[in-house]
Amino acid sequence: MRSDCGSVRQDSKWRCKRTLRRKPSFRPIEDGDVQYAWAAYKKGALAPMGEAFTHEMSAEQFKELFEAFVLSSHHGAWTLLAPTARGTIPIGIVLAAWAPNAPFMIVNGCCWFPWASKRNIIEASVAFFSGIRKEVPLVFYALPEHKRAYEVCAMHGVIRRVGTSLVASPGHLCAVFETRTAA
């Protein structure tokens, strides 16, 4: 007779096959993605990426600054796409750089556009981590307000939590995650 005390391990309800059914995807960032980044900037979504993205600027100034920002300090830049009512459109960007003297990349920034739903964010994150782990290992830090989304990705088996950092973001306890090796 099965115990009712809850000691029996429950199977996770999270399945990659089911989450990726709507075909979210990612690709290297392209010139056409700047218009979506501009729209997100106008709504204030790029402010976490740095002080420069909090000032008022024209579309041309933004394009120059954004391109310089991506090209100057990042070795990897990807656009995350997800199906929406308006078709499959960019819903976020991920920027990463090679760690010094290490065989992995550190995610420097991840920005979700304001029109991305929570479902889009989870689906695109799982698709990204599932695909990128076959190319390059990633390590990244999650602020407390974003930690739950990454825990859900970990439940899918594409990333794992490896610790907590006190210095990654001063004043915050950041959860440290890494992509799992592809099987």
User: What does the pLDDT read at residue 182?
Assistant: 66
Q: How many domains does the chain have?
A: 1
User: What does the pLDDT read at residue 156?
Assistant: 92
Instruction: Flag whether 141 is in a domain.
Output: yes
pLDDT 10s digits, 30-46: 999 999 999 999 998 88
Q: With 60 as the cut, is the pLDDT of residue 3 above it?
A: no
Q: Report the distance separating Cα 38 and Cα 59, nearest Å.
A: 7
Q: With 60 as the cut, is the pLDDT of residue 5 above it?
A: no
User: What does the pLDDT read at residue 44?
Assistant: 87
Q: With 60 as the cut, is the pLDDT of residue 105 above it?
A: yes
User: What does the pLDDT read at residue 22?
Assistant: 86
Q: Tell which wins on pLDDT, 73 or 26.
A: 26
Instruction: Flag whether 6 is in a domain.
Output: no
Instruction: Flag whether 94 is in a domain.
Output: yes
Q: With 80 as the cut, is the pLDDT of residue 11 above it?
A: no
Instruction: Flag whether 12 is in a domain.
Output: no
User: What does the pLDDT read at residue 180?
Assistant: 83
Provide the residue range defining the domain that includes 64: 23-179
CATH of the domain at 172: 3.40.630.30
Instruction: Flag whether 3 is in a domain.
Output: no
Q: Is 156:179 a contact under the CB 8 Å cutoff?
A: no
pLDDT 10s digits, 53-104: 888 889 999 999 999 999 998 999 999 999 988 889 999 999 999 999 989 9
Element (H, E) at 72: helix 59-73
One-letter amino acid of 157 = G
Instruction: Flag whether 14 is in a domain.
Output: no
Q: Report the distance separating Cα 72 and Cα 95, nearest Å.
A: 11
Q: With 80 as the cut, is the pLDDT of residue 10 above it?
A: no
pLDDT 10s digits, 110-157: 999 999 999 999 999 999 999 999 999 999 999 999 999 999 999 999
Closest CA to 76 of 103, 94, 91, 53: 94
Q: Report the distance separating Cα 91 and Cα 82, nearest Å.
A: 7
**CA diameter of the chain:** 69
Instruction: Flag whether 137 is in a domain.
Output: yes
Instruction: Flag whether 53 is in a domain.
Output: yes
